Structure 1
Amino acid sequence: MPSRLSPLAIQTIQEILNKYTANFSKDVPGVCVSIHNTNGEDLLTCSSGKTGANGEEDMTNDHQFWMASLTKLITSVAVLQLVETGKLSLDDGEQLENLIPELKGLPILSRDATTGKMVLVPRKNLITVRQLLAHTAGFGYTFFSPELREYLKTNKISGLKLLEELNFISPLLFEPGTDFNYGAGSDIAGLALERATGMKLGDYVERNIFQPLQMENSTFDKDTSKKLKNLVKLNQRDPDNGTLREVPHVYSLNRSGKPDHFHSGGAGCFGTATDYAKFLSTLANDGVSPRTKHRILSSESIKYLFSNQLEHNPNFLRKPMIGIPGLTPNLQEFFPQAGSPPQGWGSSFVIALEDVMDTGRPKNTYHWYGLANMFYWIDIERGIVAVICAQVLPFFDPTCWELWKGVERAVYKGLIPSVKAKL
């Protein structure tokens, strides 16, 4: 049967959360952890601290978080559902560009060797859904791409308006299919779903993922949904004195108040830690909810979702990324590991091809992050999933990072052995 947690591990995890939230205006205001197994059991959902740096409200397990890039995995599953029904193709670039004609003729952003200025050059390859999900289509994010920021500044384009006005289809950073760059591919994939179904992404996900999995507190409608009642405050760390302050949520795309605002496939979901753990445990259980028994993906699609899309590029996250102060740090690599072993990438997450030595998490596990210091991992072999939710900027906050690692260590130190679950 899938794994369980020892009583000592449960106690230790709660103590870790209490430690890091004791000084809620200096360390982490509040955090919620949810750990489930593929039997459908909630092994531990616990919270600690406050909903914001002002300390006005206690954090509870019912509070909802901006999921940020944890949204991408939801979008990947939704898109693969359409691949199963034949409404979308993984590799038919003509189909994709006919659905989204804004992609046709989209150029590549390049720096002129003579003038040093950013120029646009034609591309040769078509863009495919497979590339969008694997982040190999060439799209970037402004907060990790100085070149894209320079282009937008030169052309007086607002980064937020890229999303607000559906003009987010910015120039590519390389020829589609030739490299990896973490960016807006999931947003384009979500738009393809909308064009193929005639439904808003959030409405499709509500019907085909949230309802079947009883994810009753998740939504893409931040400003109009009645489901979003307990949203945690977003907090930002002062770079000079390290204190935290509450700031407006950066990802309310419904600034006009219109009910048909853009649903971001890359970062537009809000929900509870428990809801997201239900989703993860379904994927770890071969696409079948262990609670409701609904299948949301076929076994074949699950295998694709967890397969390494970048075997030819085992160091794809080992390149410097220049961030934006207060939002994203400068990073030498996303997933540092001793000895720099090969890296793998599924359809929304890192695949640990070797043991994560500093926490005890074994190889062949999967994880990813969200901008406001959200983190999850999936361990199919042991039948366990976990999500750790905070709302702190900038990304990769050192205090949040240490909290993540502490929880992960406690899980693997206190994991009760079980029969291995198979993918």
Structure 2
Amino acid sequence: MASGLTQDTDPAEVGLDPARLARLDRRLARWVDDGQLPGFLVTVSRRGRLAHVGRAGSRNVEEGLPVEEDTRWRIFSMTKPVTSVAAMMLYEEGLLELTDPITKWLPEFADTRVYVAGSAQKPVTQPQMQPIRVAHLLTHTSGLTYGFHHAHPVDAVYRAMGHEWGTPPGADSAEVCRQWASAPLVFQPGTEWNYGVSTDVLGRLVEVVSGQPLDVFFEERIFRPLGMTDTSFGLREDDDVASLARLYAAVPGQPGGAATGFAPLDTMGAAAHSTPTFLSGGGGLVGTAADYVRFAEMLRRGGSFDGGRLLGPRTLAHMVRNHLPGGADLETFGRPLFAETPLRGVGFGLGFSMVIDPVRYGGVASVGDYSWGGAASTAFYVDPVEDVVVTFFTQLLPSSTLPIRAHLRALVNQAIVA
């Protein structure tokens, strides 16, 4: 695979029909033309060859700046797989076990109680039946939550502390973990799946276990070995702010109807203009498509890329296996709320979701196809059966605005002809 985003093969040479693949760009561009999407960049690789790069629209609509191949994107929760890989690197070094209680390094969670009943102001709680373990953070079965869910009294507890789409000003990773540890867990660790700040706590765990700030660990242990030169926690001092795509929020239409357009979300977007105090392992990175393609290719290749090996193949294979009890899917074991994936027919491993039942999932997909996405509608997936890696970048909140992820799989899969 060539460096940057240079297409390095004819699609037909890797079993992709170019005419059918063109449908992908046309469908995505229709959302741009209809004023529902500011702009996008999409990549399709097969058998380790970059076979397609498509882009259209603007990274900043108001200033007329087009999407470029070196545009930087807030990847939000696509940070989570990076943090999960970091934790598993420490596992491979014998520095932690998946069954270890996190109180071994984060003692503040020893006294965290579990919600049973009551309101956010007066919750009724009980002690933990078992401690939060490293594996619970990786699988989102810890009982931690997100303030922006608006689905449970504990979500409101988080919001009251200043945790919704951000964290309290000046609080670093150690402080935010202390704050989350002071709130009740939504359920007993290991008993349910709930999308939440688990990976942020995992990022703090990586810091304590490794003895390095998360940005330093990422740079030295992940980005540099993979050649990811343009990914960081917020923009660096010498980065051009104009290279960062503007963040937009969908403008709601009629109740229950589709969004009618989008508007700038500059207050939230400005948080990525510099290195934040809180290095969010769950959602803090900005970077280029070329960088994330390299990360995704490392996953596809079993833990190494371009001479940089981060993980052993067996470790990577374990991460992308469904870890939900009894082989359950997220709809059965999880809570019916926002997540960066459909819930039917989808399992969850150590940092990734994966298709376990394509029929129940509701679209053409391979068993074992694994993925994740970000709040601003970014997404990636790796299909180990068809040997395909797909990445998609835009900056539109929330990620549920358009059915982008379903269309990606449908339009890429229909182009595979050999």
Q: TM-score, normalised by structure 1?
A: 0.83
Asked whether the 8 Å contact 1:164–1:253 carries over to 2, the reply is no
Q: Per the alignment, do residues 22 and 210 of structure 1 end up closer, same or farther by CA in structure 2, a change over 3 Å counting? A: same
Residue 392 of structure 2, aligned match among 388, 395, 400: 388
> How far did residue 205 of structure 1 move?
1.1
Instruction: Tell me the equivalent position of 2:4.
Output: none
Instruction: Tell me the equivalent position of 2:261.
Output: 243
Instruction: Tell me the equivalent position of 2:414.
Output: 413
- What are the equivalent positions in structure 2 for 1:12-411 lying under 5 Å apart? 12-23=23-34, 26-39=35-48, 41-54=49-62, 56-93=64-101, 96-112=102-118, 117-144=122-149, 145-152=151-158, 157-159=162-164, 160-161=166-167, 165=171, 166-168=175-177, 169=180, 170-222=183-235, 224=237, 226=239, 230-240=243-253, 242-248=260-266, 250=268, 261-289=277-305, 292-312=306-326, 314-317=328-331, 321=336, 334-335=341-342, 337=344, 342-355=345-358, 359-398=363-402, 401=403, 403-411=404-412
Q: Per the alignment, do residues 149 and 346 of structure 1 end up closer, same or farther by CA in structure 2, a change over 3 Å counting? A: closer
> How far did residue 307 of structure 1 move?
1.4
> How far did residue 270 of structure 1 move?
0.9
Aligned equivalents of 1:90, 1:227: Cα separation in 2: 40
Q: Per the alignment, do residues 224 and 106 of structure 1 end up closer, same or farther by CA in structure 2, a change over 3 Å counting? A: farther
> How far did residue 228 of structure 1 move?
6.8
Aligned equivalents of 2:325, 2:90: Cα separation in 1: 25
Aligned equivalents of 2:238, 2:96: Cα separation in 1: 28
Asked whether the 8 Å contact 2:234–2:271 carries over to 1, the reply is no
> How far did residue 75 of structure 1 move?
0.6
Identity among equivalent positions (%) equals: 23
Asked whether the 8 Å contact 2:233–2:276 carries over to 1, the reply is no
Residues 4-40 of structure 1, C-alpha deviations (whole Å, 9 max, x = no match): 42221342222223222124xx21010111222342x
Q: Per the alignment, do residues 221 and 236 of structure 1 end up closer, same or farther by CA in structure 2, a change over 3 Å counting? A: closer
Asked whether the 8 Å contact 1:37–1:281 carries over to 2, the reply is no
Asked whether the 8 Å contact 2:323–2:350 carries over to 1, the reply is yes
Moved over 4 A (4+): 155-158, 251-255, 318-322, 356-359
Asked whether the 8 Å contact 1:51–1:232 carries over to 2, the reply is yes
Q: Which amino acid aligns with 2:33?
A: A
Aligned equivalents of 2:85, 2:20: Cα separation in 1: 31
Aligned equivalents of 1:272, 1:281: Cα separation in 2: 14
Asked whether the 8 Å contact 1:161–1:167 carries over to 2, the reply is yes
Aligned equivalents of 2:141, 2:397: Cα separation in 1: 27
Residues 99-126 of structure 1, C-alpha deviations (whole Å, 9 max, x = no match): 112222111233239x994234322311
SS in 2 for 1:104: helix
Asked whether the 8 Å contact 2:76–2:374 carries over to 1, the reply is yes
Instruction: Tell me the equivalent position of 1:325.
Output: none
> How far did residue 367 of structure 1 move?
2.1
Aligned equivalents of 2:371, 2:143: Cα separation in 1: 22
Aligned equivalents of 2:60, 2:242: Cα separation in 1: 15
Residues 315-353 of structure 1, C-alpha deviations (whole Å, 9 max, x = no match): 43356646xxxxx6xx8x95165xxxx432111222111
Q: Which amino acid aligns with 1:267?
A: G
**How many residues are treated as equivalent by the alignment?**
390
Q: Which amino acid aligns with 2:17?
A: S
Note the residue ranges of structure 2 that are not aligned, 5 or more in a row.
1-12, 255-259
Aligned equivalents of 1:49, 1:246: Cα separation in 2: 15
> How far did residue 251 of structure 1 move?
6.5
SS in 1 for 2:59: coil
> How far did residue 49 of structure 1 move?
0.3
Aligned equivalents of 1:163, 1:314: Cα separation in 2: 39
Q: Which amino acid aligns with 1:268?
A: G
Instruction: Tell me the equivalent position of 1:421.
Output: none
Aligned equivalents of 1:246, 1:193: Cα separation in 2: 34
SS in 2 for 1:405: helix
Aligned equivalents of 1:139, 1:240: Cα separation in 2: 32
Asked whether the 8 Å contact 2:74–2:272 carries over to 1, the reply is no
> How far did residue 59 of structure 1 move?
0.9
Aligned equivalents of 1:225, 1:108: Cα separation in 2: 45
SS in 2 for 1:283: helix
SS in 2 for 1:387: strand
Aligned equivalents of 1:372, 1:350: Cα separation in 2: 18
Q: Which amino acid aligns with 1:296?
A: L
More helix by proportion, 1 or 2?
Answer: 2
Q: Per the alignment, do residues 254 and 16 of structure 1 end up closer, same or farther by CA in structure 2, a change over 3 Å counting? A: closer
